[in-house]
Chains A and B, each alone.
Chain A
Amino acid sequence: MSNQVDAAQHAAAYQHALDVSRRYFLGRCTGIGIGAIALAVLESANSRASFANSQEPSPIGLPSLPHHKPKAKNVIFLTQSGGPSQIELFDHKPGLIDLAGQELPDSVRQGQRLTTMTSNQKQLIMPPRTSFRRYGQSGATIGEWLPYHAEVADELCFIKSMVTDEINHAPAMTKFLTGHQLPGRPSLGAWASYGLGSENRNLPDYLVLISKMQRPSDQPLYDHYWGSGFLPSRYQGVKLRNAKEPVLYLRDPDGLPRDIRRSMLDSIAKMNEMRLEKTGDPEIETRIKQYEMAWRMQSSVPELNDLSDEPEETFELYGSDSRRPGSYAANCILARRLIERGVRFVQLFHPDWDHHSRLSSWCVARCRDTDQASAALVTDLKRRGLLDETLVVWGGEFGRGVAGQGEWNSPEGGRDHHPRCFTVWAAGGGIRSGMSYGATDDFSYNVVENPVHVRDLHATILHLLGIDHQRFTYRFQGLDFKLTGVEASRVVNEILV
């Protein structure tokens, strides 16, 4: 990183920052006119005491949490946007080969809604475009487009019976990540950040990484996918950008030397202290702290983003694309680094899984982008002893239908959206490894065994983090909202260790 201060300078600056805050503390304690309450605020600025009268918890989480002993400390959510095809990747239905080109029986379809893209065409069965094999001791079925997944099959738990209610991208992704199809609710990561905070004081609690692509995606990644909804905005995901400025406004302007910035921040703190004495407003104390945190982020984020201290074998493990900053593979390495630094929730997005046409070239391309690195992340976390406390989840907003879109037997063929079943996998953080859960019918169309609704997945993730989803609420507009909403939902205990 061009704007990274060298290590010695960084250390010196950091020490200076510490000195400033220490001076500040000493100054305050002998200060005049500040009573007990202000001191209490100061001792624990940003901590529980100062939030005693509000709904807002401290950065180290709500005092009432966890509800029980957590299995997972952190989450890495590998979001595959667009709806990956479970039929080619995980949900093996060999019988479809014999049914190729036949019309999907109405008894299977059962009035399932179609998008207006295919509601006018015949529903002719398109068999999987690739072959499957069984892997590992668990004998997991995985399509041949995911050879690296095959190698870690015994670490993963495949939930083949995922269900959602939405059939279009934006509402489905909004539901997949916030529990409700309309924007405005907090995302899963925001809930986790709100409830549990993070141990890292130099980085936000919840970070979002988006693969750098070269084509305009058909499904924009809206920032409400990682938004805080009605929770205070500090809990929203902070997007790490693939730009000179990984966090907006992180970089000082050109021509401003770091030491001048430092002395300017010292002066701001000094004058804010004067104002604090005069007005007695404890918010000023928080402001001083946030300016210091901003200064620290200016070093910690570029340091985090700079992978040059990773050994060569890291890149070999994650694949050659990991050398390219902004790639999904590079983001997987970043995700591991964030977890190492105590960040609570990391969410990756890889776009363009929406394969309405030419599935057999487009889906393969997305597999190539993500297969090796996703598997490598699991391997890497495990060998570093981090997998036990880190929950990794892989999945998209819905699945794809068994009928071909376009000509089922031409290379042009693709698949339409399908909300009634799809596959998500999870690993680590209290999840049973080497298992498949739930099952679909012979057409990978309806769930026939152990359905897992998106809400159940949310309940389970919260459970692993030590949170009872029924009791984890936030009052807004007179109602106690929870991530899992008002309809029935459950923790999927069967997939837990």
Chain B
Amino acid sequence: MSFTTRGAFAAFILSLPVFSPPTGELIAEEPTVRFSRDILPILSDRCFHCHGPDESHREADLRLDVHDEAIADRGGYSAIVPGMPDESEIISRVLTEDDDLLMPPPDSHRKPLTETEIQTLRSWIASGATWGKHWAFEPPIRLAVAENEPSKPIDALVRRRLSEVGMTPSPTASKSTLIRRASFDLIGLPPTAEEVDAFQRDTSDDAYEKLIDRLLQSPHHGERMAMWWLDVARYADTDGFQGDATRTNWPYRDWVVNAFHRNQPFDQFTIEQFAGDLLPEATPEQILATCFHRNHMTNGEGGRDPEESRIDYVIDRVNTTGTVWLGLTLGCTQCHSHKFDPISHQDYYSLFAFFNSIDEDGKAGDNAKPYLKYESPAADGAVAEAQAWSDRCIQSESEAKEAAQKGFGDWLSQRIASITNAESNFTPWTSPIIRSLDSNEGTVLTQEADGAIVASGPTLRQDDYRIVAQSDLPNITGFRIEVLRDDSLTDGKWTRGKDGIFILTNIKLQVRKVGDSQVREIDVDKATANIEVKVKGRNYGLVSDTLNDDPRNGWTLAEDTKSSLTPTAVFALSSSLTLAADEELILWMMHRSTEGDANIGRFRISLTDQPGLAVRSVDPMPIEELAKDVASEDLSDDSTSIEKQINTKLRERLVDQFLFDHPEFQAAKQVADSSRRHLASAKKAAGKLNVMVLGERKEPRETYVLQRGVWDQKGDAVTRGFPAAILPQANDRSLSRLDLATWLVDPQNPLTARVIVNHLWQIAFGDGLVRTPEDFGLQGEPPAHPDVLDWLAVELIESGWDVRHVLRMIVTSDTYKQRSETTATATEADPDNRMLARGARYRLPSWMIRDAALHSSGLLNATLGGPPVMPYQPPGVWEEIFMGRYTYEPSPGPAQYRRTLYAFWRRSSAPTFLFDSAQRRVCEVKTMRTNTPLHALTLLNDVGMLEAAAEIARRSIASHEKMDSQLTQLFRRILSRDPDAAELDVMRETLSTSVEHFAKLPDEARTLTSIGQAEPDGEADQVTENPAELAAFMIVASLVMNLDEAISHE
């Protein structure tokens, strides 16, 4: 066997400190027992907790992680005596039957050593107990490939290992599988049918390599890689804690896409994100890159000490650095020295010191300096797109208005007729029929002959009144409470309390079926009063405060109110309510003020069916005014001439009211309003934005070891420095973040290249070579193919940190191209496919599933960059968390169909259509893959998925005339291959069953297929006259989109 050593390497963009070249010291023959592979994991797992690096938990003053101490004479005996297992205390202590002596102690709940493990230890000691380091701390070694081995090193090394374990590789996957697999991995999207055809037709030797190069050049490749990096960077659009304020850091997201698109070398990529601001003549983009270390959550909770928050942010940066670059669980050393890895408590705070002098003060929201004022070049496109969409919507709104107004004349004539024909005068407000009156605390309520309700009985501090009523109005749009004076009340005012002033804290309206156990709550949209007080510093006053649950505010009058007006409040329902014959209304009037003694003494309730604006103001309703005019004979009673005599102002109010309740116009108006809001927010995003970035304070802060990791428990002072166990460096000058970045990508650093290569492997295989990508330390899982990992790590460094080059090597290997089908024997032999004797099969990340649906349906808007967008989400999700403070409004128009990368990420509520995704609260590098019914429900019922299914149905029907070709086309769009006969059978069957069903239900078919957003100016292309056919095809499309194959990397 021959080996190569690592070659010399170039210095990169920055001049690096000079090192001696790596020694390339190699092991000629593998010994039977290898320290790092065989011994260290046993010691680490069973012994280091008490006999390891952490001095605070060390027992018997014994360290087994340090060679000299392990063999030291401990007064007549040693833990380990090289060459003499029977003399070694460690062996007798794992063999003893005495529970007091046995190691690990039974009460530690650590697994006792197995026979094999004991045997391994024995033979290691017998052969001289040769010491070494944990594998990941040794420099990576690149093994040479012999001539008789496969020419691609990955394949050669994988096959060596396979033959060691007696396994054989699988054959190459079909071309349609390969193009689908590579497209998902490299651009995050499936191939189009045309791309599959072209690839299948290309029989040249390098057809596959050409495909890979095309994919790697695609701008979508940058987006795909960014999705990896943004999870790692815990990138989000909000702060995360209390209030969860929005931030405008999205230009950083575009910076990441661009960095991958131009294949920025990973060392430079690292340096700019750590210290772009410290580079000579830093460009705005280099400063922008440092947003990486500001993507942590921020906490603006009232009452929180900002310094505590600031410490949290620094800790987050250290931990993120540890996870992403070093693959180490540095977080453990926040509180104490690492129990397994050679990182001390002191080391942690030496790293902490690099981030401790950022010019920040722990605040959140708009006060999270330092900021970069940045104007994104991508914003103009978003404005233009929003403008074009809004123009269309506004056009269609004005057309709808014009069309609606044609009906105004008739509507008005009807109103006038109803006023003039009515036997009695027009009554805008009617009294309900009171069914019962009671109260929580004991106030007695009775109704008098004139309809007024009067309180008697005990005079209480607080009480809730309950009024149960019925009404024969055809529909109810609002109600009114008049608070009446009475001589019997205090000072002839409104209550029986001390000063006669009432405080109504809350109202609630409910509906209940007579005799039914449950009520339903009726939403009240708006409350308006003719008198209320608005006094600064006084909590009681506004009638609108009666609509919340807070008894600390509510409706009241000023104490000196002498007005002869009757205090009147009008409440508008959110939507018109129609009571069934057996339903009754329940109105709660709650008096729960702190001041108390302010319960209303006399009042009247009325209801109205007058639409829209009429219940949003205490002014007389326009129809009421009209009726008054008619009644007072200001106007003649001939309806045509009445119409002509209506004054302009009244006429305007009447038109407004008419339009307010015109469903077609309102629908168009809603769409237009939404497009206006969208345009306004796009314009806002086009201005100068505050992007959170790094910047040093003038005076650096002192850094201390924080005892037990607690923010205000300062221990010894420390200076900036690097953990010596990873790569020592002299601390002879003052170090900066730039030095930290340079140290991370130092070719001598044994961790960074390995960790990053492992991430790239994970992108292509679903799992890394090391299956604990976050932990390369002693407690992490060792790689199944260490030689492949090392080979690629050296290659990454020597290629000048060329990420695309390494990724290309991975996806052009035969190992990658294997079929993913498995057999029972293969599954049994290697259930997790760690040996890589077959291709990887696993469920795609949920963002890829959404993007694939957009792409297969042709809905995808492939625009790059720009402000975040709001994909469909079920209504009310944000409102529930924040009780209405934030409203989620799906983006209108083309913005709806952007890739998931651009979806707005609220930390307290990640996009609901994503599952198993990183939460973007702290750095996450491991993919989560679960399989739950909630995922099934999401894929079956998400509006985005269904809209895509409808679109696929439309396009498939339009593309061919024959049903089988239509179905084949539909299948290909989604799965990139032709269906076989059996699959076609199932589709045909589903189609015909569905057509049959929907033929009887044309309205349902229309409803189903019109899910999603409609074009503002008309129907979508009419592909079929038959709604049942479209709906049935949509069902088939949704079916195929839900197949395991559709959502799997095969």
Among B223-231, B509-517, B634-642, the stretch that binds chain A is: B509-517
Q: A361-B551, A362-B551, A478-B775 are in contact. Are A280 and B883 (CB under 8 A)?
A: no
Q: B417 on the interface (CB 8 Å rule)?
A: no
Q: Find the B residue at minimum CB distance from A169.
A: B301
Q: A34 on the interface (CB 8 Å rule)?
A: yes
Q: B882 on the interface (CB 8 Å rule)?
A: yes
- Looking at the complex, which one of B331, B882, B983 makes contact with A220 (CB distance below 8 Å)? B882
Q: Is the CB of B1006 within 8 A of A264?
A: no
Q: Is the CB of B882 within 8 A of A217?
A: yes
The size of the chain A interface, using a CB distance under 8 A, is: 112
Q: Nearest-CB distance from B1014 to chain A (Å)?
A: 14
Q: Is the CB of B518 within 8 A of A213?
A: no
Q: Nearest-CB distance from B824 to chain A (Å)?
A: 2
Q: B1001 on the interface (CB 8 Å rule)?
A: yes
Q: A280-B823, A364-B592 are in contact. Are A250 and B303 (CB under 8 A)?
A: no
Complex Cα distance, B922 from A283, in Å, reads 29
Q: Is the CB of A284 within 8 A of B594?
A: no
Q: B128 on the interface (CB 8 Å rule)?
A: no
Q: B165 on the interface (CB 8 Å rule)?
A: no
- Looking at the complex, which one of A254, A260, A326, A358 makes contact with B552 (CB distance below 8 Å)? A358
Complex Cα distance, B331 from A477, in Å, reads 10
Task: Give the chain B neighbours of A219 by CB distance below 8 A.
Answer: 242
Task: Give the chain B neighbours of A183 by CB distance below 8 A.
Answer: 240, 297, 919, 921-922
Q: B938 on the interface (CB 8 Å rule)?
A: yes
Q: Find the A residue at minimum CB distance from B301.
A: A168
Q: Nearest-CB distance from B242 to chain A (Å)?
A: 6
Q: A220-B908, A274-B983, A365-B592 are in contact. Are A284 and B1044 (CB under 8 A)?
A: yes
Q: A121 on the interface (CB 8 Å rule)?
A: no
Complex Cα distance, B985 from A271, in Å, reads 10
Task: Give the chain A neighbours of B332 by CB distance below 8 A.
Answer: 478-479
Task: Give the chain B neighbours of A281 by CB distance below 8 A.
Answer: 820, 822, 841, 1044, 1048
Task: Give the chain A neighbours of B822 by CB distance below 8 A.
Answer: 279-281
Q: A234 on the interface (CB 8 Å rule)?
A: yes
Among A92-100, A239-247, A437-445, the stretch that binds chain B is: A239-247
Q: A217-B882, A477-B775, A478-B778 are in contact. Are A249 and B874 (CB under 8 A)?
A: yes
State the majority secondary structure of interface residues on B: loop
Q: Is the CB of B934 within 8 A of A247?
A: yes
Most-contacted residue by chain B among A255, A267, A308, A477 (CB, 10 A): A477
Task: Give the chain A neighbours of B882 by CB distance below 8 A.
Answer: 216-217, 220
Complex Cα distance, B241 from A224, in Å, reads 11
Q: A107 on the interface (CB 8 Å rule)?
A: no
Q: Is the CB of A215 within 8 A of B921?
A: no
Q: A267-B990, A290-B933, A324-B519 are in contact. Are A283 and B983 (CB under 8 A)?
A: no
Q: Is the CB of B930 within 8 A of A308?
A: no
Task: Give the chain B neighbours of A477 by CB distance below 8 A.
Answer: 323, 329, 331, 772, 774-775, 779
Q: B7 on the interface (CB 8 Å rule)?
A: no
Among A35-43, A135-143, A386-394, the stretch that binds chain B is: A35-43
Q: A53-B831, A477-B774 are in contact. Are A297 and B595 (CB under 8 A)?
A: no
Q: A199 on the interface (CB 8 Å rule)?
A: no
Task: Give the chain B neighbours of A222 by CB distance below 8 A.
Answer: 881, 908
What per-residue 1/0 map shows which CB atoms of A452-496 lie under 8 Å from chain B? Answer: 000000000000000000110001011100000010000000000
Task: Give the chain B neighbours of A247 by CB distance below 8 A.
Answer: 934, 937
Q: Nearest-CB distance from A62 to chain B (Å)?
A: 15
Q: Is the CB of A358 within 8 A of B908?
A: no
Q: B703 on the interface (CB 8 Å rule)?
A: no
Q: A287-B931, A291-B936, A308-B516 are in contact. Are A220 and B993 (CB under 8 A)?
A: no
Task: Give the chain A neighbours of B244 by CB distance below 8 A.
Answer: 220
Complex Cα distance, B885 from A364, in Å, reads 25
Most-contacted residue by chain B among A253, A264, A281, A291 (CB, 10 A): A253
Q: Is the CB of B329 within 8 A of A479?
A: yes
Q: Is the CB of B303 within 8 A of A168?
A: yes
What per-residue 1/0 map shows which CB atoms of A281-314 lie under 8 Å from chain B? Answer: 1111011001101100110000000011011101
Q: B989 on the interface (CB 8 Å rule)?
A: yes
Q: Find the B residue at minimum CB distance from A256.
A: B1008
Q: Would you list which residues of chain B between 228 and 264 have a CB under 8 Å from chain A?
A: 240-244
- Looking at the complex, which one of A38, A239, A260, A272 makes contact with B827 (CB distance below 8 Å)? A38
Task: Give the chain B neighbours of A315 by CB distance below 8 A.
Answer: 517-518
Q: A133 on the interface (CB 8 Å rule)?
A: no
Q: A252 on the interface (CB 8 Å rule)?
A: yes
Q: A29 on the interface (CB 8 Å rule)?
A: no
Q: Nearest-CB distance from B873 to chain A (Å)?
A: 9
Q: Would you list which residues of chain B between 909 and 947 have a CB under 8 Å from chain A?
A: 909, 912, 915-916, 919, 921-922, 928, 930-938, 940-943, 946
Among B197-205, B673-681, B1034-1042, the stretch that binds chain A is: B1034-1042
Q: Is the CB of A280 within 8 A of B908?
A: no
Q: Would you list which residues of chain A between 304 and 356 have a CB under 8 Å from chain B?
A: 307-308, 310-312, 314-315, 323-326, 330, 351-352
Complex Cα distance, B908 from A221, in Å, reads 8
Task: Give the chain B neighbours of A216 by CB distance below 8 A.
Answer: 548, 882-885
Q: A170-B241, A260-B1035, A275-B1043 are in contact. Are A210 and B880 (CB under 8 A)?
A: yes
- Looking at the complex, which one of B240, B874, B885, B931 makes contact with A245 (CB distance below 8 Å)? B874
Complex Cα distance, B515 from A311, in Å, reads 11
Task: Give the chain A neighbours of B824 by CB distance below 8 A.
Answer: 34-38, 280
Q: B340 on the interface (CB 8 Å rule)?
A: yes
Q: Nearest-CB distance from A163 to chain B (Å)?
A: 16
Q: Find the B residue at minimum CB distance from A410.
A: B594
Task: Give the chain B neighbours of A170 by CB distance below 8 A.
Answer: 241-242, 299, 301
Q: A256-B1008, A357-B552 are in contact. Are A215 and B1038 (CB under 8 A)?
A: no
Q: A233-B916, A478-B777 are in contact. Are A361 and B552 (CB under 8 A)?
A: yes
Q: A170-B241, A365-B592, A479-B332 are in contact. Are A257 and B827 (CB under 8 A)?
A: no
Q: Nearest-CB distance from B53 to chain A (Å)?
A: 13
Task: Give the chain A neighbours of B940 by CB distance below 8 A.
Answer: 249, 252, 261, 294
What per-residue 1/0 map shows which CB atoms of B819-832 lie under 8 Å from chain A? Answer: 01111111110011
Q: A27 on the interface (CB 8 Å rule)?
A: no
Task: Give the chain B neighbours of A259 by CB distance below 8 A.
Answer: 997
Q: Is the CB of B881 within 8 A of A274?
A: no
Q: Is the CB of A116 within 8 A of B1007?
A: no
Complex Cα distance, B539 from A184, in Å, reads 39
Q: Is the CB of A362 within 8 A of B552?
A: yes
Q: Would you list which residues of chain B between 787 and 813 have a CB under 8 Å from chain A?
A: none
- Looking at the complex, which one of B521, B779, B825, B1043 makes contact with A272 (CB distance below 8 Å)? B1043
Complex Cα distance, B1044 from A250, in Å, reads 20
Q: A257-B1001, A267-B989 are in contact. Are A287 and B1044 (CB under 8 A)?
A: yes
Complex Cα distance, B998 from A34, in Å, reads 38
Q: Find the A residue at minimum CB distance from B993.
A: A263
Q: Nearest-CB distance from B972 to chain A (Å)?
A: 15
Q: A18 on the interface (CB 8 Å rule)?
A: no
Task: Give the chain A neighbours of B1004 by CB distance below 8 A.
Answer: 254-257
Q: B312 on the interface (CB 8 Å rule)?
A: yes
* 5 interchain pairs, CB-CB under 8 A: A117-B302, A216-B883, A239-B880, A255-B1001, A272-B1044
B residues sitting closer than 8 Å to A (CB atoms) are 109, 240-244, 297, 299, 301-305, 312, 323, 329, 331-332, 335, 339-341, 462, 505-506, 510, 512, 516-521, 539, 547-552, 592-596, 772, 774-775, 777-780, 820-828, 831-832, 841-843, 874-877, 880-885, 908-909, 912, 915-916, 919, 921-922, 928, 930-938, 940-943, 946, 982-983, 986-987, 989-990, 993-994, 997-998, 1001, 1003-1009, 1011, 1031, 1035, 1038-1039, 1042-1045, 1048, 1050
Which 10 residue pairs across A and B have the least CB separation, nearest first?
A35-B824, A478-B779, A115-B303, A255-B1008, A215-B548, A255-B1007, A361-B594, A294-B936, A293-B933, A294-B933
Other than the known A182-B922, A361-B594, A478-B772, what 14 A-B pairs have Cβ atoms closer than 8 Å? A169-B242, A170-B299, A184-B922, A219-B242, A220-B244, A248-B874, A249-B938, A252-B940, A256-B1004, A257-B997, A263-B994, A268-B1042, A364-B462, A478-B775
